[in-house]
Amino acid sequence: MSFVMQPHLRVVDSAPERDFRADMHAALAAPQRSISPKYFYDARGSQLFDAICELREYYPTRTELSLLRGHAAEIAALAGREAEVVEFGAGSLRKVRLLLDALENPASYVPIDISGEHLAQAAAQLRSDYPGLAVHPVAADYTQPLQLPAGTRKSGMRLGFFPGSTIGNFDPEQALRFLRMAARVLRGGALLLGADLVKDPAVLHAAYNDEAGVTAAFNLNLLARANRELGTDFDLDGFAHGAFYNSPQRRIEMHLVSRRAQRVQLDGQTYLFEDGETLHTENSHKFSVDSLRALAAEAGFTAGPVWTDPNRLFSLHWLAAPA
């Protein structure tokens, strides 16, 4: 992976459009069609995800925010002075602001995100609101081996931040690979990680099937993005949002379900969808506190304090990365 230096943005020249095209071909050609949820997050997808986070049914965001607020002092004490905050995904500015506000004199903030636009907006807003903070955005796919910009640290620890239970969108092997990479990048520091917990399936079902249809729009936006960027001819009315809890696998699965037999073209190739056939777009794994701690330990972290809400909806983990 090579970095092209620009004044404020380090851009990765790994041709994400080429990856999307190749991954879409692979997905459409497979007997069980599935594609990475990372392709949800174009500008529109990122906006829709922000809207999901405000939904009444989608408890993870507000629960995690209240954990961050309620335990800010403990987190700050563990992090010490002049931490460098490395966020995997430049997701919610609200969350990182809570963290930055709690920390004693944070030295720098390094958001890493695949969506260059989202990243640039996040960086610009934080720069103007935290004039003393050095902001070093990195446009990269953090599921791939990662090198952080050199010379951005002061004396404090490197504190990784991976909120929102995005860890749950990886399959178990990817999650382990990600955590191993994070333990290496954060060596001597720690990772503050949010993980959604196993709970009543009805609560989970509602969170991914909101009444307003925002999650459905988020899911279907993948097809709109493919039409725009890859030239596919998906008929958006020909697919429905499908989301259900797969209890043995402890995960919500999201699918785009073909409403009828139909054909889709990509680069001159035709792919047939039967009625009811799906493109699997996302898994959102749910954890127990112990299963998450065991996974982190397997990746090389030393599991520290865990904070949960009274209803045990969500968990926030302090994971120390040995030097």
In the chain, DSSP assigns E strands to: 3-5, 10-12, 33-34, 84-88, 108-113, 134-135, 138-139, 158-162, 190-196, 239-246, 251-258, 262-266, 269-273, 278-285, 302-308, 314-320
Using DSSP bridges, classify how beta strands 262-266 and 302-308 pair: parallel, antiparallel or unpaired.
unpaired
Residue number with CB closer to ligand AVI (64 or 84): 64
> Would you give the end-to-end CA distance of the chain in angstroms?
25
Residue ranges in 24-83 that form contacts with ligand AVI under rule CB under 6 A: 52
Rounded Cα–Cα distance for residues 60 and 92 (Å)? 12
Eight-class DSSP state of 104? B
User: In whole angstroms, how close is the CB of 113 to ligand AVI at the nearest point?
Assistant: 12
Positive or negative: CA dihedral 102, 112, 43, 217: negative
- State which of residues 39, 162, 170, 208 lies at the interface with ligand AVI (CB under 6 A): 208
Residue number with CB closer to ligand AVI (92 or 108): 92
Which of 10, 289, 258 is CA-nearest to residue 140? 10
- Tokens 């520091």 map to which residue? 189
314 makes contact with ligand AVI (CB under 6 A): no
Give the number of residues in contact with ligand AVI, rule: CB under 6 A. 10
User: In whole angstroms, how close is the CB of 254 to ligand AVI at the nearest point?
Assistant: 6
Give the 3-state secondary structure of residue 75.
helix
What are the CA-CA distances from residue 66 to residues 73, 192, 265, 318 (Å)?
Answer: 13, 15, 46, 16
User: In whole angstroms, how close is the CB of 198 to ligand AVI at the nearest point?
Assistant: 14
Residue number with CB closer to ligand AVI (169 or 278): 169
Residue ranges in 146-205 that form contacts with ligand AVI under rule CB under 6 A: 164-166, 168-169
Residue number with CB closer to ligand AVI (115 or 166): 166
Name the residue with the smallest CB distance to ligand AVI: 284
User: In whole angstroms, how close is the CB of 281 to ligand AVI at the nearest point?
Assistant: 9
284 makes contact with ligand AVI (CB under 6 A): yes
Residue number with CB closer to ligand AVI (108 or 165): 165
Rounded Cα–Cα distance for residues 84 and 281 (Å)? 34
User: In whole angstroms, how close is the CB of 155 to ligand AVI at the nearest point?
Assistant: 33
Residue number with CB closer to ligand AVI (161 or 208): 208
User: In whole angstroms, how close is the CB of 44 to ligand AVI at the nearest point?
Assistant: 14
For 236, counting Cβ atoms within 10 Å of its Cβ (0-12 exposed, 13-18 middle, 19+ buried), the class is exposed
Residue number with CB closer to ligand AVI (166 or 278): 166
Residue ranges in 104-143 that form contacts with ligand AVI under rule CB under 6 A: none
- Sequence-ordered alpha helix ranges (H) in 54-171: 59-70, 72-79, 93-102, 116-129
215 makes contact with ligand AVI (CB under 6 A): yes
Residue number with CB closer to ligand AVI (218 or 301): 218
Give the tokens for residue 96. 């990182």
Residue number with CB closer to ligand AVI (258 or 284): 284
Q: In sequence order, what are the beta bridge partners of 264?
A: 271
Q: Per-residue contact track with ligand AVI, 12 to 31, x per CB under 6 A?
A: --------------------
User: In whole angstroms, how close is the CB of 92 to ligand AVI at the nearest point?
Assistant: 10
Report the interhelical angle of 93-102 vs 72-79 (nearest 10°).
70
Which residues in this chain contact ligand AVI in the complex, by CB under 6 A? 52, 164-166, 168-169, 208, 215, 282, 284
